[in-house]
A and B are shown apart, each in its own frame.
Chain A
Amino acid sequence: MSTRRIFAQPARYAAIAPYLWMVLFFLVPFGFVLKISLSQTAIAQPPYVPVFDFTEGWAAIKAAFAQLSLDNFKLLVSDNLYLSSYLRSLIVAVTSTLILLLIGYPIAYGMARLPQRWQAIAMMLVIVPFWTSFLIRIYAWINILQHDGLLNTVLLALHLVSSPVVWLSTDTAMYIGIVYSYLPFMILPLYATLSKMDPALLEAASDLGASPQQAFWLVTFPLSLPGVGAGALLCFIPIVGEFVIPDLLAGSSSMMIGQTLWLEFFTNKDWPVASAAAIALLALLVPPLLLYDRLQRRTLEGGR
């Protein structure tokens, strides 16, 4: 018997506690969301009609299945509010990801070309803001972007504008907030691929007559595509479900899906519709998640 197998048994026992925890606090609640998304709205506490009641046996279960309704989902696809917030989530996520890529790539590229000692420091500098509170970072921008904030003060002092510009409650403010919050998520995977690249490849390209620009577009960029994909998905996926940033920085004229869910849940107390919105949001995230998973697998295999 190999030591691996000797170790496997106690290691599996170790997994029992976290396993049960995740079943109880992740899997079961998720089942609740699914269940409630299929039940009827009621003005009560809790504000939904329970779908299953196992005390009455098999007949009740059959009856309950008959009662399951897709009404909430029908509402989601028929009501403009939901459709437009889906669309907006997608547009915001795509736009932000593109901006992040444009800003993050040059930074990651610069980091990868720093002398070795400096790279660790630069990496640290990129990670540290990720550790400081996300809410505080958004708040910092409100400080800057508000009507009499620093940005307007500077713009006025430089005579670039004649009267204060409205920044808060605009899409511009929201994009600034998103880009600011997610920049480390874009930089780190890009930096990881760029720094692993053999410097001899660029020398070889140069040796074979490629100018620095050509060498970048013919060698560096194509080889960094896995990092581009990873960074883009790592930003896109959470941005789709983002709630705090649009809520604090964007205007209230149109909402992202996370905001709509929050509104249904807390303001309208319509738990079934909120649950259905949650399921629909997850459905939106499945394709990019699968893509990310495939990308990671391929990178791992390629690395071997």
Chain B
Amino acid sequence: MTLESPDIGRPNIDVSAGPPDAAAADMPLLRVEGVSKKFGSFPAVDHLSLDIRAGEFFALLGPSGCGKTTLLRMLAGFETPDEGRILLGGRDIAPVLPHERPVNMMFQNYALFPHLSVRDNIAFGLKRAGMARAAIDTRVAEMVALVKLEGMEKRRPDQLSGGQRQRVALARSLARRPKVLLLDEPLAALDKKLRESTQQELMELQRRLGMTFIVVTHDQEEAMTMANRIGVMNAGRLEQVAPPRDLYEAPASRWVAQFVGDVNLFDGEVTSHEHHRLTIATRDGGAIVVAVPRQPVAKSPVSVAIRPEKVKLSRPGVASDASNSQPINRLEGVVTDVSYLGGSTVYKVKLDSGAILRSSVANTARLDTDTYDVSQRVVAWFTSDDCVVLEQ
């Protein structure tokens, strides 16, 4: 029941049969070039460019209203860009109407046709493509099995649970074997448990089908779990496009550092630059030594970003166990707040300089003796490699 050969029975809808594969080897499957879209005077998408390769699982991540859904709707053809081009397999698809695009979408609230059964919902796109009845039956059966909905074919959408509806929507959008599957907040309507298991299933499905998935989400954990690459959007622009790890460990901007995960930020000026190290005089954290970033810092003032789990704590006077040769930043202060979260404990430390620093310590042993109490004096320390310098 798997889809080993995605070309068998591909409906005859391939209007954008692009250049041959050899020529397309260095060409991304989908290229967005300087695309803008305004609603009234509000720029929803602002001169945005993006390449997506075939077979990628790409996530567009951003706060609500950042333009990610508008971008997705432009890819599906529901909105036309005011400026710029969208190339699919090297062809400009701006004039191609949504129903003629080899792209399918899974809608946020699924948009299942309430008057049609599960079977007819899945078969809808196949019928439009003029597939033979027998072929449609086979494909629908395949899809129903793929999303594990056997026995539900005759039900109407209002007779299904939320999770089942999500599967029907997925099956319906996959049935035409699109070149690109667009997913608009595909898991937003599911509860947490179901969301996690569905994430795994989506990933497995994407790997197995080798299809290109573009998912829009506001949930960073979801994006990080599923996607190979993530584009972080803010105010109609892409702030950074990177694999999940780079996004977290090497954010490109102060905004990304704050949006993705938790972060301590210190603002300051670069005071010296020697031996791959920068010394930064921060406004409220004292001097911090950091490793020189790959991209040289051109402008001052800058910000130093340190993730809470990179900040270690120890008692004053006790030598730290760091044995490498990196310079270590030490900042002394008093614990003001302790939040026990199970897997980790978050300490808030009020530094002597007045700044608040958060440190997340993994609870690696059940009977941990290495804990700190409120009002206790501690040394917070981190290596120069653990922080990132960002232009403001």
A interface residue numbers (CB < 8 A to B): 198, 200-201, 203-211, 214-215, 218-219, 222-223, 302
Contacts and interface: CB of A to CB of B under 8 A. Distances in A.
What are the 7 tightest A-B residue pairs by CB atom distance, in nearest-first order? A208-B125, A209-B128, A200-B111, A204-B111, A206-B98, A206-B99, A207-B105
Contact of A201 (B111, B128, B158): B111
A207 B104 contact: yes
A204 B128 contact: no
Contact of A207 (B98, B109, B114, B158): B98
A288 to B, nearest CB: 24
Nearest to A222: B115
B115 A208 contact: no
Nearest to A200: B111
A208 B124 contact: yes
A302 B112 CA distance: 15
Interface string B148-170: 00000000001000000000000
Given A203-B111, A207-B98, A208-B172, 7 more contacts: A203-B105, A207-B76, A207-B125, A209-B99, A209-B100, A209-B125, A302-B158
A286 to B, nearest CB: 29
B80 interface: no
A210 B114 CA distance: 17
Q: Interface centre among A200, A215, A223, by most B CB within 10 Å?
A: A200
Given A205-B124, A208-B176, A198 B109 contact: yes
Given A203-B78, A204-B105, A210 B99 contact: yes
Contact of B128 (A198, A200, A203, A210): A210
B115 A209 contact: no
Q: Is the interface of A mostly helix, strand, loop or mixed?
A: helix
26 contacts: A198-B109, A198-B111, A200-B107, A201-B111, A203-B76, A203-B98, A203-B105, A203-B107, A204-B107, A204-B111, A205-B113, A206-B78, A206-B98, A207-B76, A207-B77, A207-B99, A207-B125, A208-B128, A209-B99, A209-B100, A209-B128, A209-B129, A211-B99, A214-B128, A215-B99, A218-B124
Interface string B93-104: 000011111011
B13 interface: yes
Nearest to B172: A208
Contacts of B70: none
A202 to B, nearest CB: 9
A241 B144 CA distance: 53
B303 interface: no
Nearest to B105: A207
Given A207-B76, A211-B99, A223 B115 contact: yes
B173 interface: yes
A223 B176 CA distance: 24
Interface string B115-141: 100000000110011000000000000
A214 B100 CA distance: 13
Contacts of B104: 207-208
Nearest to A212: B99
A209 B105 contact: no
A201 B176 CA distance: 17
A211 B77 CA distance: 13
Contacts of B112: 204
Contacts of A214: 128
A205 B78 CA distance: 12
Nearest to B114: A223
A20 B76 CA distance: 62
Contacts of A218: 124
Contacts of A207: 76-78, 98-99, 101, 103-105, 125, 173
A223 B101 CA distance: 25
B77 to A, nearest CB: 8
Contacts of A204: 105, 107, 111-113, 172
A74 B78 CA distance: 65
A210 B172 CA distance: 13
Contacts of A201: 111, 113
Contacts of B103: 207
A219 B13 contact: no
Contacts of B109: 198, 200
A78 B13 CA distance: 66
Contacts of B101: 207
